[in-house]
Amino acid sequence: MKTKTVVIFLVLFLIPNTHTAQTTAVNSGVYVTAEDYENSKLIEEAECKNEKEKFERHDFFSRREFAVINKGKKITYLKKNIYAYRDCENKVWRFYNNKEYQIVETKDMYIYTIRKVVLNGITVEKDPVYYFSSSASGEIKELSDANLKSAYPNNKTFHNMLDAEFNSNKNEVNPDNGIHAYDFTHKMYKVNYIFSQSKN
């Protein structure tokens, strides 16, 4: 009986504490540069579980600045002086030309969306508009056939693959197969998958 007790104790002791691993705190913070973002280097990091250490709540999309409150210290940033910030929902927003773009994918191309706009000082929700850049710090352009071809002028294979995939009658039948479509099989946006295949 004593031997069984020892075995049970060892098994319980050696099993990883998966609950602890799953409850890792999400931190919000500022990425000053694109390099900071690529290296996951948050500046003025604030733990989201602590209400006193979150970003100051205000109508974020209608202001030129926002504040970080961490350990009682308040720091105000102008959006034009930083690359991006991560909120307590683990969403990252890149600031570019006085607009806020949510980063939704970071592969060969960075894919962004905008869901909110400010009209006469009022922030309203709308259907997402998709954008892309060729790198973390690249120029953000609307995700369209013409802009993609312009961004990669020498990759004719990519151009042909875009035409074959998106400029066909099948998109009239299924609008969800448009240029902003997500490829659930390969777990990335279709344009990123097509671009990766065009380099092979």
Mean pLDDT across the stretch 3-8? 44
Least confident segment among 12-26, 49-63, 71-85: 12-26
What is the pLDDT confidence band of residue 7, given thresholds at 50, 70 and 90?
very low
Is 60's pLDDT higher than 60?
no
pTM value is: 0.77
**Torsional sign, CA 119, 121, 125, 128:** positive
Q: What mean pLDDT is reported for the chain?
A: 79
> Model confidence at 149, in pLDDT bands (50, 70, 90)?
very high
- Please name the residue that has the structure tokens 């209608």: 62
Looking from the CA of 66 toward its CB, the CA atoms found within 13 Å total: 26
DSSP 85: E
**Closest to 61 (Cα-Cα) out of 116, 111, 21:** 116
CA distance 157 to 144: 17
8-12, 64-68, 135-139: which has the minimum mean pLDDT? Answer: 8-12
Q: Place 181 in a pLDDT band, splitting at 50, 70 and 90.
A: very high
Instruction: Note the Cα 43 to chain centre separation in Å.
Output: 17
